[in-house]
Amino acid sequence: MAAPLWLTTDERKAFDALPEAVRNGWELKEETLSFTDTPERRSARLGLVRLHDTKLLALREKVQKAATPEEVAALLAEMDLHDVTEGDLAELFFALGPDALTLLIAPLLRDAKTDGDLDDLASLLMIRHSLLESLRLRPE
Amino acid sequence: MGSSARTKRDPANDNRPEKAGIETPEVRPFQAQPEVLSQYLENVKADEVEAMMKSVEGREKLVDMLGTHAEDLQEAHGIDLKELREQIDLAGETLEQKERFLQDVQSPEKKGLFRRAWEKVKGFPRKHPVVTALLAVAAIAGATAAGFYLTGNWELLLSKIAGLGKALKAMGASGELIPPTPNTPPLPGGGVFEIPGGSPTPGLDIPT
């Protein structure tokens, strides 16, 4: 079962502009939550990332030993998420925050051509929605 | 709001030791991470500090305990107790938020959907390389030295990854992706990030 598409008002407009064949069959939900990120909050999230995956830890170690930015870029480009644990993926998405996902979602939605494209998008939208729920201020 | 991402620098440090051949005092950026705070507190381990940070009472107690190190913190990091309190509050709230997120993705009603989502994400590298690169940058952000960013290498790195620099610029986030790290004296052969091997770094699970 695919997740629903949690779309903001602007994203809903982009979705409505997709061909009908692509739009058909998707459950739509309105994303009403928002979060104002700040450099301090982003920095705090990044500083509290806790990774356990050996592949990610190895990547960190290699990056620290890299001699040039080109080497680092090559290491990042080779990044394979296949065996990364779900827990560590969740840590990384939390560190990035919902703003990053919103930026990534916009072009993916605009260029969606197949059900598979929207299926990928649904995953990111669900992760963003969960992030927004977690990050919102709790009532005093 | 505390300035957790700030990189307060003594202008004198522009003549860095490796360049000038002399040691100069440096005001090091500070980030209230459990591992960092634990270093100031005798017999309080990082996981105990983390637990304290998750409650208002615990945070107040931490600030009280760290009050005896106010002069050290001011001298080493240029941070006063008010700023320390703000940073601890922010870090504590962030820990609470992360806990909520991790609980949500593992909740029985959502676990199946998220498992499917994670599997999708794992298949992103070829299909959505920018998403993957951004996750990889988040993975290394805490392990890189501020010097890498300050010397302009960070911009160069982002420009080497197609689409990533543009995405980060739109977020206004390229700076925060290199959070302040504990000061590490540059050593010969330390690599592009000037981090010597073999010494533990607070906040990391690996020896550096």
Greater model confidence, B176 or A78: A78
Q: For residue B15, what pLDDT is reported?
A: 40
- Assess A54–B contact: CB distance below 8 Å, yes or no: no
The domain containing residue A115 runs over which residues?
Answer: 5-31+51-135
Residues 6+ apart with CB under 8 A from A9: A30
**In which residue are the tokens 């925060």 written?**
B176
A44 is a domain residue: no
Residues 6+ apart with CB under 8 A from B44: B38, B65
A41 is a domain residue: no
A39 is a domain residue: no
Average pLDDT of the segment spanning A58-78: 80
CA B106 to chain centre: 25
- Assess B46–A contact: CB distance below 8 Å, yes or no: no
CB contact under 8 A, B5 and A43: yes
Contact residues, chain B, for A38 at CB < 8 Å: 1
Greater model confidence, A61 or B173: A61
CB contact under 8 A, B140 and A63: yes
Q: For residue A64, what pLDDT is reported?
A: 79
A64 is a domain residue: yes
Q: For residue B153, what pLDDT is reported?
A: 58
Mean pLDDT, all residues of chain A: 89
Chain A nearest-CA residue for B32: A44
Q: For residue B174, what pLDDT is reported?
A: 53
CB contact under 8 A, B144 and A64: yes
Distance CA A53, CA A135 (A): 25
Residues across chain A = 140
CB contact under 8 A, B192 and A130: no
Residue A19 has pLDDT above 90, yes or no: yes
Q: Which two tokens stand for residue A96?
A: 């990035």
Q: For residue B142, what pLDDT is reported?
A: 65
pTM above 0.95, yes or no: no
Amino acid A92 reads L
Residue A93 has pLDDT above 80, yes or no: yes
- Assess A87–B contact: CB distance below 8 Å, yes or no: yes
ipTM for the complex? Answer: 0.92
Q: For residue B16, what pLDDT is reported?
A: 41
Please count the helices (runs of H) and the strands (runs of E) in chain A.
8, 2
| Interchain CB contacts (distance < 8 Å): A and B | 215
Q: What's the average pLDDT block by block, 10 residues per block, for chain B (208 residues)?
A: 39 40 60 89 91 94 92 88 93 95 96 94 82 83 53 58 62 50 39 39 32
- Smallest CA-to-CA distance from B47 within B107, B102, B95, B103 is with B95
Q: Which two tokens stand for residue B169?
A: 């610029």
Q: Are B193 and B182 in contact (CB under 8 A)?
A: no
Number of domains in chain A: 1
